[in-house]
Chains A and B, each alone.
Chain A
Amino acid sequence: MVDQGELRQKAKEVISREDVRRLIGWKRGTYGFEAAPAVIKDPSEADELVFDPTCVQNPASFVTLEEKPPLPRGVEPDLRKVGVFAKGCDSRALIQQMVEQAYERDHIVVIGIPCRGVIDHRKAEKLFGDVTPDLVEISGDKVVIEIGGEKREVAREDVLMAKCLRCRYPNPLISDVLVGGEVEKFADDDFSDVDEFEKKSPAEKWEFWEKEFSKCIRCYSCRNVCPMCYCPECVVTRLKPQWTRRSVDLSENTSYHIERSWHLAGRCIECMECERVCPMDIPIMTLNRKLTRDVKELFSYEPGTDVEASPLLTSYNPQDPEEYIM
């Protein structure tokens, strides 16, 4: 369990620095199993920051969100750094953004938090209903949840996000300040879920996706929340040329989902934000996972693990696999 005092102290130190203009983290949410994102500008606000297993949202998504409106003549842009909290998976998003040169390494101050898993609100709501817990913490291999003064212990598999159950990087891969000690790696990934899905025949796969894609209402939440989706103009809403029409039907939805997952090939860092925010419960990760697996298998490439790497699809190796090429 991360000590909240230490967390706030370190956050205070960072936000007090001359060269830091704001800090992105989490604060207590108003209801349910999820903490709310917080952006603070002043050391006095640091006391509202928290970290516990309800801090699911990936703060890396906010780093690239900032609008840069044209400034009046004579006004200098504020180029000071942005502080950002990062769990293991969040740090991968930051790295991948830097690999793509969204910003330079000295644009951010990373406050790394070794993490032992975060809550999947769908799983938790299924178990406990629509309640707000007083306390959530991980002790040993159990998750302790306190609701209305009553403590309950549940197995990790029953409440943690699927990404945590196969997390290979619980410790932040980059950090300037570390809160708490590093944790031991507690899980591994064998992509058995992808293998399992691939056993289906093409007809069965389509039957599955036809049902899922038809549900999509194209709210674009999955795109908006994604830390890697930060293009100023997105191809799916672009009008000239209009690759995907706006109508919400099976054809355009399929096109949207292929575009979205395809544009994240070799970039998705598996934070599962897209699937978490989907109001229609579409298993978006099933697409991302397939690409992640293939990228790893074909090109031994893992996005967001090496700041010096070049982006997968803007580099090549003459010996790349040819597979189906005639």
Chain B
Amino acid sequence: MSDEFEPTIIAFLCNWCSYAGADLAGTSRIHYPPNVKIIRVMCSGRVNPLFLMNALQQGADGVLISGCHPGDCHYLEGNYYSRRRFVLMHRLLEHIGVHPNRVHMSWVSASEGEKFKEVVSEVRDKVKEIGPMNQFGRRQINW
């Protein structure tokens, strides 16, 4: 095993588009970086910005939130709400000194297996360049 830093990326994917897109990438045998740990949510509108804080506290080096393209949300408008939310959250995190390239958002549809791979590779490269997240990791308590 090499000692090179490989980032851990937590991805919140919506069930109806991005998760299906990731599935398609898998069934089409498209290779994408294994750094990404996927958490399936029903809609990108379900992603609470506290999920993101928690991921960063608990050792994620980067976070990706992905949903259906605007207008395509299974619940019609979930991704519009989530877009407002994360544009602001991204700027807020930047303001306290979290590198802007740690948090990413994308629209990936169920037919875009290839795009999913590209997004994940790009996120991995960007996070890798910044290095490990060592700003406010949660203290581990093991009793």
Contacts and interface: CB of A to CB of B under 8 A. Distances in A.
Contacts of A322: 83, 87
Given A262-B49, A316-B77, A324-B104, A291 B96 contact: no
For the residues of B in contact with A, the DSSP-based class is helix
Given A314-B81, A320-B87, A258 B105 contact: no
A213 to B, nearest CB: 8
A326 B100 contact: no
Contacts of A298: 87-88
A70 to B, nearest CB: 32
Contacts of B111: none
A257 B99 CA distance: 17
Contact of A254 (B85, B90, B96, B119): B96
Nearest to A323: B87
Contacts of B94: 202
Interface residues of A, number: 49
Contacts of A202: 94, 97-100
Interface stretch (A57-65, A203-211, A215-223): A203-211
A37 to B, nearest CB: 31
Interface stretch (A74-82, A83-91, A151-159, A243-251): A243-251
Contact of B80 (A204, A208, A318): A318
Given A249-B139, A251-B138, A316-B80, A324 B105 contact: yes
Interface of B: 49-50, 53-54, 57, 70-71, 77, 80-81, 83-85, 87-100, 104-107, 119, 122, 135-139
Nearest 6 A-B pairs (CB), nearest first?
Answer: A206-B97, A205-B97, A316-B80, A326-B106, A254-B136, A251-B136
